[in-house]
Amino acid sequence: MKILIVGGAGYIGSHMSKLLVKSGHEVIVLDNLSTGFRKNVKYGELVVGDLADIGLLENVFSTYQFDAVMHFAANSLVGESIKEPAKYYRNNVANTINLLDVMINHSVKYFIFSSTAATFGNPKYSPIDEHHPQHPINPYGMSKLMVENILKDYASAYDLSSVSLRYFNACGADPEGELGEMHDPETHLIPLVLQVASGRKKEITVFGSDYPTDDGTCIRDYIHVVDLCQAHLLAIEYLIKNKSGAYSFNLGSGHGFSVQEVLDASSLIVKRYNASIFVQYGDKRPGDPDRLVADSILARKILGWKPQYECLETIIEHAWRWELELVKRKKQ
Ligand code: UFG
């Protein structure tokens, strides 16, 4: 298949491109390089461009006859979305509509959409399955939910088949050490903790230690980036083999780990390299639910998804190897 990866210069998109090429598919990456990096595009051709540019989209779709589109390009900082909602609704919603409309013009029928656990808002029960009510508590989550709903209408009106994959906490890095997580600014727990261990950052602040959990810190469901990518590949195969429609699946490991457990596991791993992690305990970050754990039984049952890297230590080891690689590159 020839697949357009929108946002393929970013963290998850770059791992996806590698998996697709290794699985025998052809990849074209479209990325405006606003948060992604040219050097992340190691698999497939890069077209630099923005989804706001409908003329460019028309050209790209005329040049390449795509079989499917995977859409990873979005703004994804919860705090920023509260301060600048217009940016989120314009980029995550309006620009996605541009992409969908050009797909329809060019009769491209299969679409995989990066959605998020943030569409659920504060959980009513745990683990969170696909029947859980979706009441986002920030514009980021709302922008993703709006696209999920648009996709339902587009499936019935235009026969555009889609799968929305709701990621819980994407983390880890390419097990071969070629790709990994790189955000500027970095806000995610695991890369920040490892930046402290490598000396790139002075300390990590735990946001809140009096949550109603066993150790008082928040619980999250950490899912390896390669396992997420495997689910995308299965989702495309599912759409091609099955009927048309708009489907949604939650993607997580089903295991919750507290911030303290992540810190403890990371400390043990980096200790082997004589590194340590300086931890401070600070205030809660506004808008953090105490527990977000996925029920991914549906993805396992319907898509046949079997995550390979569910062990937290393995996830952290892959991320640590990548952090050491980044440190080495900075010294060169
Ligand atoms: N945390 C800290 N200190 C830090 C950074 C994070 O204690 O310096 C804590 C957070 O409070 C949270 C946990 O570590 O409890 C994980 O935080 P991340 O920022 O790594 O991830 P989030 O769970 O906040 O966010 C993820 C995705 C979002 C998505 C959200 C769904 O990155 O895109 O899940 O709720 F919206």
Phi, psi of 168 (to 5 degrees): -90, -125
Q: Which of 68, 87, 71 is nearest to 79 (CA)?
A: 87
Does the beta carbon of 116 lie inside 6 Å of ligand 1? yes
pLDDT at residue 65 in the model: 96
Task: Taking residues 244-254, report their average pLDDT.
Answer: 96
Residue written as token pair 């009513």:
124
Query: Which residue's entry shows tokens 């928040």?
Result: 218
Classify domain 189-220+254-296+308-331 at the CATH class level: alpha beta
Greater confidence, 286 or 8? Answer: 8
pLDDT digits (tens, 9 = 90+) for 275-289: 999 999 999 998 899
Residue 186, CA distances (Å) to 181, 200, 226 in order: 9, 12, 20
pLDDT at 150: 98
Q: For ligand 1, pick from 211, 259, 283 the residue to mutate: most ligand atoms within 8 Å of CB.
A: 259
In ligand 1, which atom is closest to the CA atom of 120?
35
**Which position has the token pair 């989209």?**
57
Pick from 188, 209, 221, 284 the residue to mutate for probing ligand 1's pocket: most ligand atoms within 8 Å of its CB. 188
Helix (H) or strand (E) segment spanning residue 298: helix 297-298
- What is the percent of the chain with per-residue pLDDT over 70, rounded to a whole number? 100
Q: Which of 126, 189, 257 to mutate to test the pocket of ligand 1 (most atoms within 8 A of CB)?
A: 189
- What's the Cα-to-Cα distance from 4 to each of 30, 58, 112, 317, rounded to whole Å? 7, 13, 10, 31
pLDDT score of 221: 98
CATH superfamily of 2-171+222-251: NAD(P)-binding Rossmann-like Domain (3.40.50.720)
Confidence of residue 243 (pLDDT cuts 50, 70, 90): confident
Pair 95, 146: CB distance under 8 Å: no
Structure tokens at 25: 């598919």
Domain boundaries along the sequence of the chain: 2-171+222-251, 189-220+254-296+308-331
Element (H, E) at 247: strand 246-251
For residue 140, indicate whether it is catalytic. Answer: yes
Predicted local distance difference test score (pLDDT) of residue 37: 96
Q: Is 218 in the pocket of ligand 1 (CB under 6 A)?
A: yes
**Is residue 47 helix, strand or coil?**
strand
Ligand 1: residue whose CA is nearest its atom 33 = 76
Sign (positive/negative) of CA torsion 188, 10, 324, 256? positive
The per-residue pLDDT for 214 is: 97
CA of 52 to the centre of ligand 1 (A): 29
Atom of ligand 1 nearest to the CA of 204: 8
User: pLDDT tens digits for 189-228?
Assistant: 999 999 999 999 999 999 999 999 999 999 999 999 999 9
Task: Give the mean pLDDT of 110-127.
Answer: 97
**220 phi, psi to nearest 5 deg:** -135, 165
Structure tokens, 283: 């205030």
Is 90 exceeded by the pLDDT of residue 33? yes
**Closest Cα to atom 31, ligand 1: which residue?**
118
> By alpha-carbon position, which residue is closest to atom 24 of ligand 1?
288
Burial class (CB in 10 A: 0-12, 13-18, 19+), 106: middle
Cα(232)–Cα(164) distance, integer angstroms: 9
Q: Is 122 in the pocket of ligand 1 (CB under 6 A)?
A: no
Q: What is the mean pLDDT of residues 12-18?
A: 98
Protein residue whose Cα sits closest to atom 1 of ligand 1 = 189
What is the reported pTM?
A: 0.97
Evaluate if residue 332 carries a pLDDT over 90: no
What is the atom index within ligand 1 of the atom nearest the CA of 171? 20
